[in-house]
């Protein structure tokens, strides 16, 4: 289903644009987000606040997708995540990080029902420890 890929890529575009409103509209009501540590946040409203908080911390967060695979409603995206960590002293040129990323998205009726991220978050954690 190419519609599944289209929905996942719309979600990526909203992330890259730090567009919380668009992300919210692209989620199912019972949307689940699971981070690379296995922590899950459930519900579209909870994730609206989650994305807003993340973009406050990493205001230029973006994802570059290099490969896409799908099987019906499941889409796997492979690429790179990157951004600048805004520590307590604000943005600085040395606070830039980048890491490989894999995402598993489950699409229902054109909306993202689940967004699961697999990434090594040590690059941003190291910046957080420095700040």
Residue 37: how many other CB atoms lie within 10 Å: 9
Task: Give the model confidence (pLDDT) of 7-26 as tens digits.
Answer: 999 999 999 999 999 999 99
Task: List, edge to edge, every strand of the sheet that includes 74-84.
Answer: 40-42, 27-34, 111-119, 96-108, 74-84, 62-71
CATH second-level architecture of 2-130? Roll (3.10)
Domain limits, the chain: 2-130
pLDDT at residue 121 tops 80 = no
The size of the chain, in residues, is 131
Task: Give the model confidence (pLDDT) of 22-59 as tens digits.
Answer: 999 999 999 999 999 999 999 999 999 999 999 998 99
Q: Which of 60-74, 87-101, 113-127 has the highest mean pLDDT?
A: 60-74
- Contact 42/107 with Cβ under 8 angstroms? no
């Amino acid at each position: 289903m190419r519609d599944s890929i289209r929905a996942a890529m719309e979600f990526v575009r909203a992330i890259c644009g730090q567009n919380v409103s668009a992300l919210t509209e692209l989620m199912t009501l019972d949307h689940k987000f699971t981070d690379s540590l296995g922590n899950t946040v459930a519900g579209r409203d909870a994730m609206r606040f989650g994305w807003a908080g993340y973009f406050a911390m990493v205001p230029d967060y973006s994802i570059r997708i290099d490969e896409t695979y799908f099987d019906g409603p499941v889409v796997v995206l492979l690429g790179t995540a990157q951004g600048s960590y805004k520590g307590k002293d604000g943005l600085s040129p040395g606070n830039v990080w980048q890491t490989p990323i894999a995402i598993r998205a489950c699409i229902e009726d054109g909306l993202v029902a689940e967004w699961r991220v697999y990434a090594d978050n040590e690059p941003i954690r190291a910046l957080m420890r420095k700040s």
